[in-house]
Every structure is written in C-alpha cells, then in structure tokens.
Structure 1
Amino acid sequence: MTTYDTAQSWLSSQIAGISKSLEGVPKGFFVSAVIAVCAQFLSDHYGAPAMLMALLLGIAFHFLAEEGPCKVGIEFTAKTVLRIGVALLGVRISVELLIGLGPAFITLIVAGVILTILFGLLGAKLLGRGWRLALLTGGSVAICGTSAAMAIAAVLPRNEHSERNLLFTVLSVTVLSTLAMIVYPIISTALDFDDMAAGIFIGGTIHDVAQVVGAGFSVSNEAGETATLVKLIRVSMLAPVVLVFAIVMRSRADASEVSGKRPPLVPTFVIGFLVLATLNSLHLVPVPVAVFFSEVSRWALLIAIAAVGMKTSLSTISTVGGQAIVLIVGETLFIAAFILIGIHYLR
C-alpha cells in the first residue's frame, strides 16, 4: 500500500468517525430549537421570561435525553451551542461601557462581582455545600444570571451533580430575577433614588439582562439606560472571571475529575468572547453585524437551556437541598445590600 493509499484510508476513517459521532445531532438540536421557539412565543404573548419557559418545557421532555435518536443532539446542544452563545456575547461589550459611569461606580460594580463570588464560597462552606455549587451560584448572581451560569459550568470539573446544579442555578436566578424586576423599582422609589441611582441599583443587582431592562425602564427612560449600561459592565466581567476559574481548575485538575485530561488554559469560547469584545471596542464590528450576532447569541443560549432542561429531571433537582436555596438567596441579598450601601456613600 502506498503512502497516498494509507493517507486516504486514514482520512476516510476519520471522516467516518466524525460522521458517526455527529449522527443524531440534527434531531436533538431540532427538538431543542422547537422548544426554544415555543418558549419565545410564550414570552412574547404572555410576558413570561423566555429562559424560564425554555427550561420548564425542556424538563417536560426529559425522556428524550435518556435514550433514543435525540440524545446525542441534546448533549451537543447543551454543550457546544451553549459555548457558541456565550462567545457571541462579546459583541455587546466595549471599553466605552467601562468609562461611562466614572471610576467610583465602576469600582463599586467590580467589587460587587468579586465579593459576591467570595461570599458564595464562604456561604457554601458554612452550609456544608461544595465549591462547585458556590462558584456556579455566586458567579451567576454576581455577573449575568443564566449566561454566566452556563459559561462557568462549561469550565468547572464535572461530577455526578453537575447537570443538577446547573439546572437548579438557572431556575433559581431566573425566578429571583423576575421577583427583583417587580420589587427593586419599588425599593428605588421608597428610598427616593433619582434616575441615575435607581439605574445603578437595578443594573448592579438584578441577575438577567432582560429583567434589568424591564425593571429599569419601568422607572424611567434614563433609569433604564443607566441600568442597561451598568448591567453590561457586569457582563463584561464574565470573560475574566471564567478565565480565572479555568486557570485555577487547570492547575488543580486531577485524574479523578477530568479523566486524566487537563482542561485548556483558555477555553476557546472565552477567546471568542474576548476577540469580539476587542473588535467591538475598536469599532471594527458594524452595527448590523453586532445586532445580528447578539440575536444569534440570545437564540443559541435559549436553545441550549432547553437542551439543559431536557437533560435533567425534576426528581434530580429536588435532591439539591434547602442549603442551596439559602445560598443563592443569600448571595442575591448580599449583592443588593452591597450596591445599596455603595450608592449611599458615593452619591
């Protein structure tokens, strides 16, 4: 056999292997996409959070992820499509966002993110819960809710509770964000905040972007714009936080956690996020392209969360325990109190 024949045989075997591994991906992705479209329909017509609807609808179709032709595609969607969605979030970030509020409030927001994650680690230790859950809940509360939870989950070492913890976190931050969207504007009015202070409080504390926008503009247009700006500054913390987590996980990885394979120093989707954020900061991403990528990101995350929902059953979520609920509620109250105190002293 010639060298050419050997190379051709090897290439054919590789293509066959890839084809086999991707077999069933379209079916699982299609089911996840249909659930995401239904969730968006419910959100558009009844005002329910699209992420929450995708999650709940996904749970209802859990049986599809257990066995059958959709299983591989659901796994692919929950992992790869998720990472694509997170990477494309970079088009929403620019350096201009980081200088729009001034150094004092930027410091307050960044400190709120860091201290909330540290509070989560301390709270988890006191409650007897693992550090994985602490980083997952703390990061999602501190940064950007569902998107942060999914990005952080992608770099944490996996164990038998990984899917359960992610689903619990996504469900919890979505519910807490919805409650905050209703309650926080009332708190802002009760504390006699002006539009800027109300925007900083809402943008600096509510978990998900959609709820921040809803709460901010329910106060006023200026409050809504300020809240969105502050929230995007928190979102810009996603890449450095995930990068730090990835580096720490890599340095501490052992065979039992990662099956002998060390995770990459910088995950590919984090590099994608940083590249897009840099290009956007340099004004090299045309506005229509940025809008398109942002919409693709939103749909990718919505489809991925539907897949995550299908991968975990309600009986599994019920085993998470009351301490986890106490932990994520405590983190939510902590960041709210911290931002309120900061606004009081910086105004």
Structure 2
Amino acid sequence: MNSDVKSVVEKPAVATPAPVRRWASITALVPGVALCAVGAAIALGVGRLFSAVSPLLIAIVAGAIVANTVTLPAKFQPGLTFSSKRLLRIGIALLGLQLMFSDIVGLGWGVIAVVVAIVVLGIAGTMYAGKLLGLSWTQRILIACGFSICGAAAVAAADGVVNAKEEELLTAVALVVIFGTLMIPTIPLLARSFGLDDVSAGMWAGGSIHEVAQVVAAGSALGATALGVATIVKLARVLMLAPVMAFLSIRQRAMSDNSNLQVKRPPLVPLFTLAFIAFMGLRSTGILPEEVLGVAKTVQTALLAAAMFALGLGVRLSVIRGVGVRPFVLAALSTVWVALIALVGVVLVS
C-alpha cells in the first residue's frame, strides 16, 4: 500500500504540450479583442454619421464611459492588453501608407524645418516644464510626444519603448483627448483673428493640433485649401514618430547597459517604426492602386480605433483624480508652447 502511494507521489507531472498552451493563450485573448472590435465598430459607425468627429476620439471616449460605468471581468484583460499594444503598433505601422516622401519634400525645406522645430522644441520645452513641475521622466515624455507629434498614437508608441506606469499612460491619453479637442474650435478662431490666409492657417492647424483627426476637423472649418495644407503638415509631424522612437529606444538601451538591474533592452529601432518607414516607401513607389490604399486606410483606422477603445477602458476618473493637477498644467503649457512654435514658424516661412 505504501509503495503504491509512493509511486503516485513520485510520478512526474505531464507537461502541457506546446500547441495546447499556444491555443490556450490565443483563446484567452478572444473576450477582450472581441469587445474592442465591437467598440471600434461602434466608433466607426458613429464617425460615419458625424464625419467631423474622429472615430479614434469616439473610441477613447466610449471606452472611458464603459470603464467608469461597468466593471469588466478579469477574463477581458489579456485581450485588452493585446489590443492596446499589438494592434496599436500594427495600426501605427500602416499609417505609413498615408504618406509619400514626395509630399514631404513638396512642402519645401522651410516648412520641413518648421515641422522638425515643432517636434524637437515641443518635446524639449515640455520635458523642461514637466521637470520644473516635478513630474516623472516617463510621464513627461509621454505628454511631450503626444502633444508634439501625433496624439494618442504617439503616447502609446512612446510607452512601448519606455514602459511607463499604467496611470501615466492613461493620463497622457486622456489629456490628448481633452486638450486636442479644445484646439479644434480655438485654432480656426485665432487664425481668423490674426488675419492668416488659408495656407498659413492650414499650416498652423497642422503644426499645432495633436491628433490627425483633430487637425482634419479644424482644417475643415478653415476651408478646403487650409484642410489640404493642414493634413500634409500634420502627416509630416507623424513622420517624426520614427526618429523620435528610435532615439528613445537608443536611450533606453544605454540606460539598461549602465544599470546593474537585469532588464530587457528595447530593440535599437522598434519594429513598428521600421514597418512605418517601409510602408511609406512602398506608398512612394506608386505601385499600390487606390483601392488597396483605401482598404489599408480602413484597416488602419479600425485597428487604431480598437486600440484606442482598449486604452479608453483604462481611463478611470479615480485614476485621473489621483495623479493630481500637475499633468494638466503641463498639458496646457505644452499645448500653448507647441502652438506658439508653429505660429512663429508660419510667420517666418510665409
């Protein structure tokens, strides 16, 4: 009897086959990804009804409403994490198909210099102001990238490199939504008050507003000419996402080399950054038909909407209240600073 018991106790556990583990990992993603797909579909549908409102903003707001009214079971979390990170990076990479190198060069070297100045000085000024306010480096860099480059997508891309705290990520995303939305009516009103022509007004809108969709909304209010200029200038800022993420990645690698902690080093250049540039190069060849580009844009918007819905689900009022007023002060300062740089640049090149 004792020998039987001993044999049972000493019998080694049977390892779960790798295919079974992989299947279990995939099925664990289904609830969260499905929820984000529903959120993205709703955002895209509402966006079609109200074309002046970005589906990405709708997705973030919808996610935040759900997060603050419903308690989701834990089974949704793996899929939400997957959507907010992996789907987001794929969507960012596909953004490259909206850009051609000729569009950027066609702006002229003066405008290109202004775009570079907006991003570089915008990030530098925001980082300095955030330091004076006593905010952490990671919180500052998320806000700086979001407000200087391309909104929530840049915030999440930067988080993928620097690994900020969850509350810092969600706060930065919420601030992009709040302050970027406020810029939609503000820039057209100020542009007319300053007597800017359509081209100059479009350059200012594209150079100062956070999200691509917010730029489109503001540009539409300024007229067709301003809208075209604003979109190209904004997409030129989006292009700056690649070198900025590469710089942050190199910095993080250097920090991990100089640290005694055993931490995983980020790649020298993030894969989604390389994919972004590759897709931009592919678009520049002119071999892709408009139909393919149209489908790619729809897929990219859907992926980013799903990712933004996932991020919105983490925007809880209790978390926002907990971070205090300093991030809001930095967001306000960064908004004014970036807009001022853009306005000076417009005046210089006009």
Report the TM-score when normalising by structure 2. Answer: 0.88
Deviation at 1:17, TM superposition (A): 2.3
Q: Give ranges in structure 1 of 5+ residues lacking alignment.
A: 1-8
- Alignment map for 1:192-211 (pairs within 5 Å): 192-211=195-214
**Deviation string, structure 1 residues 44-74 (Cα, Å, up to 9, x no partner):** 4455543333223223444988643322211
Deviation at 1:98, TM superposition (A): 1.5
2:235 to 204, 229, 232: 232
Deviation at 1:218, TM superposition (A): 1.6
**SS, match of residue 154 in structure 1:** helix
User: Is it true that 1:98 corresponds to 2:98 in the alignment?
Assistant: no
> In 2, Cα distance between the equivalents of 1:277 and 1:70?
34
> In 2, Cα distance between the equivalents of 1:58 and 1:196?
36
Deviation at 1:155, TM superposition (A): 1.1
Q: Which residue of 2 aligns with 1:110?
A: 116
1:134 maps to amino acid:
R
User: Is it true that 1:243 corresponds to 2:246 in the alignment?
Assistant: yes
Q: 1:49 to 1:175 in 2, by over 3 A?
A: farther
CA contact (8 A) 1:65 1:71 kept: no
Deviation at 1:312, TM superposition (A): 4.5
- Alignment map for 1:5-154 (pairs within 5 Å): 13-45=17-49, 48-62=53-67, 67-154=73-160
> In 2, Cα distance between the equivalents of 1:257 and 1:77?
32
> In 2, Cα distance between the equivalents of 1:65 and 1:306?
15
2:292 to 277, 284, 289: 289
**SS, match of residue 288 in structure 1:** helix
CA contact (8 A) 2:40 2:309 kept: yes
Deviation at 1:78, TM superposition (A): 1.4
Q: 1:260 to 1:346 in 2, by over 3 A?
A: closer
2:157 maps to amino acid:
A
User: Is it true that 1:174 corresponds to 2:177 in the alignment?
Assistant: yes
Q: 1:231 to 1:249 in 2, by over 3 A?
A: same
CA contact (8 A) 1:97 1:232 kept: no
**SS, match of residue 162 in structure 2:** coil
> In 2, Cα distance between the equivalents of 1:319 and 1:262?
30
> In 2, Cα distance between the equivalents of 1:259 and 1:294?
40
**SS, match of residue 280 in structure 1:** helix
**SS, match of residue 143 in structure 1:** helix
> In 2, Cα distance between the equivalents of 1:295 and 1:275?
19
Q: Give ranges in structure 2 of 5+ residues lacking alignment.
A: 1-13
> In 1, Cα distance between the equivalents of 2:162 and 2:61?
24
User: Is it true that 1:322 corresponds to 2:339 in the alignment?
Assistant: no
> In 2, Cα distance between the equivalents of 1:257 and 1:327?
32
> In 2, Cα distance between the equivalents of 1:66 and 1:218?
39
Q: 1:37 to 1:257 in 2, by over 3 A?
A: farther
**Identity over aligned pairs, percent:** 33
- Alignment map for 1:240-319 (pairs within 5 Å): 240-253=243-256, 260-319=263-322
**Deviation string, structure 1 residues 120-153 (Cα, Å, up to 9, x no partner):** 1101110000111111111111111122112111
Of residues 170-179 and 309-318 in structure 1, the stretch that sits farther from structure 2 once superposed is 309-318
2:39 maps to amino acid:
I
Q: Which residue of 1 aligns with 2:163?
A: 157
Q: 1:223 to 1:73 in 2, by over 3 A?
A: same
Deviation at 1:255, TM superposition (A): 10
Q: Which residue of 1 aligns with 2:188?
A: 185
**Deviation string, structure 1 residues 192-220 (Cα, Å, up to 9, x no partner):** 11111111111111111112112112222
Deviation at 1:38, TM superposition (A): 2.2
2:249 maps to amino acid:
A
CA contact (8 A) 1:90 1:275 kept: yes
Report the TM-score when normalising by structure 1. Answer: 0.89
Q: 1:228 to 1:164 in 2, by over 3 A?
A: same
> In 1, Cα distance between the equivalents of 2:25 and 2:290?
37
CA contact (8 A) 1:65 1:74 kept: no
1:16 maps to amino acid:
V
Deviation at 1:114, TM superposition (A): 0.5
Larger radius of gyration: 2
Of residues 307-316 and 133-142 in structure 1, the stretch that sits farther from structure 2 once superposed is 307-316
**SS, match of residue 70 in structure 1:** helix
> In 1, Cα distance between the equivalents of 2:19 and 2:240?
39
**Deviation string, structure 1 residues 134-181 (Cα, Å, up to 9, x no partner):** 1111111111112211211111134xxx22222222222122222211
